[in-house]
Amino acid sequence: MANETVLVTGASGFIATHIVESFVRAGYNVRGTVRSERTAHKVRYTFQEYKDKLSLVIVPDVAAARAFDEAVQGVTGVIHTAAPFQTEVEDKERDLLRPAIEGTINLLDSIKRCAPHVRRVVHTSSFADILDVSKGDRPGHIYTEADWNPMTYAEAINESTPDMASYCAGKAMAEHAAWEFMATENPPFDLVTICPPYVFGPVKNATASLVNLNNSSMDVYRLMSPMSKPSHAMPPTSLWVWVDVRDVAEAHLKAFEVPEAGGQRFLIAQGTYSYQGIADILRDNVVEVRDRVPVGKPRSGLGDVYGIDASKSENVLGLSYRPLEDPIVDAAKSFLKLEQVI
């Protein structure tokens, strides 16, 4: 492990920052990809205490052919988190589907051609790959790794399809493409896919600010921002399943290390939540924002919605999940620090 270098693509991201930290703490050297030197500088700032264990490579366009040829050389493992995330786009195919699918295939192709020592690739997928958006709240259904988002390519690029649904389909198609690559190309490495839902927790990446938070962080912050008031209406919950970002990071580390994980897909999730529940936690535990958080209907519960079974991740990867209070309180503290920067 001391001499092993693991590549983490998209190393500046919210989840990726925690993944990088998990690997360097476990003793690995990490090489990260970023899109610009400016971003590289911010990532180095984030990991000042680990500067001797972190190196960075600039990959401006993950969808470009041979984009990862340089980055993959000499590594023994690859954690692929880089993917486009936009909820409003001009061209669904150009901006969402092709970058997600081609970026994944380009990476796997580069590894096969240029990185003979790689033994495993861990691909950050999403609960979007599992969720059937067309079924809505789907009371009584328990989602597992056996479920797949059924949206077709033609449906995903249709102008009438909401951009968020197209994004979800693009994530699923990228994962399908990864498994198809493994089946048809038969590379010397194996593949593990990680499928987290809404991810909450502290923001640690130096690229973050209160105006460009990732979506799940922004959804928490809007409940406690200075613009929020107790009298405001509680926003509707659109995705009912969550996980702590630190548990997601641990899942990637275990997925790389545990031999039995090879060739498997893992749903990484703690359980269900609602924005009402998050608001209750903020009011109960974060005194600085108590007079900002919408009151709504405290302790009103979830209603009848789908559930999840993430027992495979517990049994194979040995994960144990944090309660919702942990990521919400820690996220709030990180947002309050960001408020001081303004």
How many Å apart are CA 8 and CA 23, to the nearest integer?
10
Cα angle 82, 83, 88 (rounded to 5 degrees) comes to 145
Mean pLDDT of 290-312: 94
| CA 148 centroid distance within chain | 17
Taking a C-beta distance cutoff of 8 angstroms, is the pair 117, 74 a contact? Answer: yes
pTM of the predicted protein model: 0.95
Residue 84 reports pLDDT greater than 80: no
Pairing type for strands 307-308 and 142-143 reads parallel
115: left (phi over 0), alpha (psi -120 to 50) or beta: beta
- With respect to residue 29, please indicate whether it lies within any of the assigned structural domains: yes
Residue 321 reports pLDDT greater than 90: yes
Tens digit of each residue's pLDDT (9 = 90 or more) over 20-52: 999 999 999 999 999 999 999 999 999 999 999
When pLDDT is cut at 50, 70 and 90, the band that residue 96 belongs to is confident
- With respect to residue 296, please indicate whether it lies within any of the assigned structural domains: no
- With respect to residue 295, please indicate whether it lies within any of the assigned structural domains: no
When pLDDT is cut at 50, 70 and 90, the band that residue 91 belongs to is confident
Mean pLDDT of 183-199: 97
Predicted pLDDT of residue 56: 97
When pLDDT is cut at 50, 70 and 90, the band that residue 89 belongs to is confident
- With respect to residue 88, please indicate whether it lies within any of the assigned structural domains: yes
Predicted pLDDT of residue 167: 85
**Which domain, by its residues, includes 251?**
5-202+241-271+306-317
- 35-39 long-range contacts (CB < 8 A, ≥24 apart) are 35/59, 35/60, 35/61, 36/60, 39/12, 39/207
How many Å apart are CA 329 and CA 331, to the nearest integer?
5
Query: How many domains in the chain?
Result: 1
Predicted pLDDT of residue 2: 55
Taking a C-beta distance cutoff of 8 angstroms, is the pair 303, 234 a contact? Answer: no
Among the listed residues 109, 112, 107, the one whose alpha carbon sits nearest the alpha carbon of residue 82: 107
Is 171 a catalytic site residue? yes
How many Å apart are CA 15 and CA 175, to the nearest integer?
18
- With respect to residue 77, please indicate whether it lies within any of the assigned structural domains: yes
Residues composing the chain: 342
Mean pLDDT (the chain, rounded):
94
Cα angle 167, 172, 174 (rounded to 5 degrees) comes to 95
Tens digit of each residue's pLDDT (9 = 90 or more) over 228-251: 999 999 999 989 999 999 999 999
- With respect to residue 220, please indicate whether it lies within any of the assigned structural domains: no
How many Å apart are CA 322 and CA 70, to the nearest integer?
37
Predicted pLDDT of residue 278: 98
- With respect to residue 127, please indicate whether it lies within any of the assigned structural domains: yes
More confident residue, 93 or 289: 289
CATH label of the domain that carries residue 137:
3.40.50.720
Annotated catalytic residue within 51, 53, 135, 171: 171
Residue 162, both tokens: 């909401």
Predicted pLDDT of residue 318: 98
Mean pLDDT of 193-208: 93
- With respect to residue 185, please indicate whether it lies within any of the assigned structural domains: yes
Predicted pLDDT of residue 243: 98
When pLDDT is cut at 50, 70 and 90, the band that residue 70 belongs to is very high
